[in-house]
Amino acid sequence: MKRIPIWSTSASVCRGGDDRPASRPVRTAGWRSMLRRAGMLLAGLAFSAIVAAAPASAADPAQPNDPLRSKQTYLDQIHMPEAWASGTVPAAAAPIVVALVDTGVDLTHTDLQGKLVDGFNVLNPSLPPQDDNGHGTNVAGIIAAVNNNDKGIAGIASGAVRIMPIKALEADGRGDENKLGEGIRYAVDHGARIVVLSLGLNRDNEELAKVVRYAEDRGVLLVAAVGNEGNSVNYPAAYPTVLAVGGVNPYNQAEYRSNVGPEIDLVAPYDVYTTALGGGYESKNGTSMAAPQAAAVAALAWTKYTWMQPYQLRSLLQQTAEDLEEAGWDELTGYGLLRADRALRQTYREDPFEPNDQADTAKVIPVNTAVSAELAGGQDTDWFKLVSPYSGTLQVRLDLNDPGAAIAVTTYTNSLVTKQAASVTQGETLAVPVDAGVTYIRLQAADSRFKTSVSYRLTTALRIYEDPYEPNDKQFQAFSLPAQSQVVKGTFDHANDVDWYVLQIDQSGRLAIRLSTDTARIDPVLLLEKRGEKGVTYDQAGNGAEEATALDVFPGQYYLKVSNLNGAKNAIVGEYTLSITYTPKWLDPNEPNDKPYQASAIDPGTAAIGTFETAADTDWFQLGVPGDSLAAFTLTGVPADRTVTLTLADYQLKPLGEYRTEAQGNDGVLQIEQYLTSGTYYIKLSTDYSFTNRPYRFEAGLKPLISGYTDIANHWAQATISRLSEQHIIEGYGHYSFRPDGAITRAEAAAVLTRAFRWSKEDPLHFTDVPVSYWAYPYIAKAAQAGIVDGYADASFRPDLPITRMEMASMFAKSLNLAGKRRGGPPFTDVGENYWGAGILKQLKADGWLTGFPDGTFGPERQASRAEFLTILEKILNR
């Protein structure tokens, strides 16, 4: 049997204080408790109200003489004095019986004497419905406390109503669904015209829905509090035919604790001063106290408009409400603030939405509602605008006063593109697919020639969309999710819906799961089960509250089942969010390597991976260097918010250098080069913070050094380059490179020749682009003095310009004092007799100083390489 808390705010009733909801609703066996936190007091929302019809002793019916009336500020907020002063309630009218399905009523309270009729104790029929909690007494005083008796407070409808106390809730403010339904049915069957339900639950219950329909069919108005969780409207207030009442603060602003949503009809003051158990009075708050204010005003209106049906009473209170927040209906305050004066003074309109004949005058109505209006003949059209919080299917039902009439129903998108058109007759329901956002509905008589007005009741209900993971109600239908961090949004779109998911974990790690909802109508439950093992259920929090867990996982299949604690015989309008964070946990294959003597050998060019289990963890590696080499150490894969330090040491563990990773995007990276002689070296890696969710990657590369260079090994000119480098005739570049195939510049050629031939004489240079500070100035000056190099006509030397092979040949010819030959055929196929250097090339080739390419060419205008230059130079030096 399910247990239900009363709606004094959002919790089970506690004696004494205000009805504030607990920070997390307390879970019971089924019906949710609305507030149960130590120190939190009862539930009871609403604004007390005072009755119309004053006794003959009252000189001014608008100003009752009850001494505590000054504390009932909520009466002024709903303009009760003006309503009393209107004198619209017939003096001889038969009292309206208002049933309170609650904790009972204090049957001996002096301010309620003469205002009670026989009630019923559902819990124990042999006992009277005596209140043992106080909540029902709070509600009763708002409606029916005796006016002008020079005692206590004034009730809103004291002279127009009688209270039928129905005790369906226990002393702690909770009960079960069956008792609640039984209490409502008893009230309907025993003469109650209005039933006040200052209680609620978060789930749609089929039996409760049947009782609600039973009451509507028998002309009984149900008035219910929306609840005080600051979340979704509770049931039974959420049913379309129940007048759902929320709360406002003394400044007519939506009370933040009052539930909101598409089911809310209107609001009334949240804070009241009312009768209390034991004959006293007290301040109370909550939507439990707002609902009876609306019920009392409805009772007053019914004494005036005795012909009205419940749907018309609902419409009257809606159309006479004081608009708050957004113009028209809104999900915070519904149609606005309850106005007792307007409800009794203003003329009832069969169609309160006019003018709404065009799309731009469409009236906003909620997606879960029941409204009444009228089509004034076949040419009249009624436009409505609905804003759906979700995609899904909108159930549209029309009840017509003319069973033979037919209504053309057309729905449109927000941009007024037609979605669906159909003709609907009495009692028919149309299913309309809708997207989240705005949908327009246009109503018109199916026969435009129709001359008679047709009154109708339009009932709408949203069924939420089917999530993309269906069907997954069974474990064998589990939807496969990738083993990664992700967010899944799902719904419970059909009866008894549960959703199964499966994760295939291939790498051990950490799995964190959060299950949350956007509505208190879902009490999420998470089941986590590794295949072949017993599952664990997580259900620590209450309605709408998040469930979460985090655990270490190992390779295998992990099943997740998402469900609602109470189950769901009907679809639930709301979404859940399943947030999954999967962090792989890598094992370090090199452990144990925390000490130098445990150092893992690392092969050049082969990457080692590792992790740091703790911040104190260190990883040692050993590298053997066979000969002089340039070592390149690369460390990647480090999280950007971590710093790994690399310490290089020799075989005696003497530190040679210490380096740290630097953040580059999402990674920490380290890249260094170090000259090492032959021997054994140790590398220690340490971290500031541990990490195992990803492995680092460490690689040591070795490039053998020949004559201090890494790029001449196996080059055709290797020996020449080595010999001339050792003689300091030529130098390399930074990073231990020589660039043997790179071009040699005019300045470099002058320097090499000067060193090789040891020229010492020089005159000052007058080249415009070779200042004294230029690195090759002395070499160029000596080469120029020797007649080997010269400048250009513009007085420049262009020291950084690469020389051609012909210029190289010319320099060497001058160094050898060769003037060139005139006789003989062309030396190379690409050098003609008229080429300026043909004679020099003839002589150098004939004397064996240079050769061309295998194809017989020389390429005189091609750039000369450093290796080519040195090869010819060495021949000359060794002549």
Examine the residue annotation and report whether 650 is marked as an active-site residue of this protein. no
Give the pairing of strands 3-5 and 174-176: antiparallel
Q: Which of 10, 66, 111, 135 is catalytic?
A: 135
> Integer distance in angstroms from the first to the last C-alpha of the chain?
114
| Angle at CA of residue 205, ends 48 and 210, nearest 5° | 85
Residue 858 carries which side chain, given as an amino acid letter? Answer: F
- Which helix (H) or strand (E) covers residue 805, if one does? helix 805-815
| Angle at CA of residue 229, ends 223 and 233, nearest 5° | 40
- Which helix (H) or strand (E) covers residue 140, if one does? helix 135-144
Examine the residue annotation and report whether 102 is marked as an active-site residue of this protein. yes
Q: Which of 12, 288, 629, 865 is catalytic?
A: 288
Query: Phi first, then psi: what are they for 805, rounded to 5°?
Result: -65, -35
d(CA 468, CA 789): 81
Examine the residue annotation and report whether 190 is marked as an active-site residue of this protein. no
**Nearest partner of 160 among 53, 64, 298, judged by Cα:** 53
Q: Is 730 left (phi over 0), alpha (psi -120 to 50) or beta?
A: beta
State how far Cα 701 lies from the chain centre. Answer: 46
Please state, as a whole number, how many other Cβ atoms lie within 10 Å of the Cβ of residue 529.
18
b/e code 584-602 from CB counts within 10 Å (16+ = b): bbbebebeebeeeeebbeb
Contact 598, 504 (CB under 8 A): no
The CA–CA distances, whole Å, from 574 to 368, 527, 672 equal: 13, 20, 56
Q: Which of 18, 102, 106, 341 is catalytic?
A: 102
Question: What is the strand order of the sheet 486-492 is part of?
Answer: 486-492, 572-584, 509-517, 547-553
d(CA 493, CA 575): 10
Return the structure tokens found at 759.
Answer: 């020229």
Counting every residue, how long is the chain?
879
b/e code 58-88 from CB counts within 10 Å (16+ = b): beebeebbbebbebbebbebbbbbbbbbbeb
d(CA 246, CA 836): 104
Cis peptide before 240 (omega within 30 of 0): no
d(CA 683, CA 700): 10
b/e code 795-823 from CB counts within 10 Å (16+ = b): eebebeebbbbbbbbbbbbbbeebeebee
Helices and strands, number each (H, E), in the chain: 14, 39
CA 18, 19, 25, 30 torsion: positive or negative? positive
Strands, DSSP E only, in 554-627? 556-564, 572-584, 600-601, 608-612, 618-625
For 138-163, the three-class secondary structure string (H helix, E strand, C coil) is HHHHHHHCCCCCCCCCCCECCCCEEE
Residue 846 makes CB contacts below 8 A (sequence gap 6+) with 821, 824, 827
Report the DSSP beta bridge partners of residue 649: 655, 682
For the chain, the C-alpha Rg in angstroms (whole number) is: 47
Instruction: Taking each helix axis as running N to C, give the angle between helix 206-217 and helix 177-189, from 0 to 180 degrees, rounded to the nearest 10.
Output: 10
Write out the catalytic residue numbers: 102, 135, 288
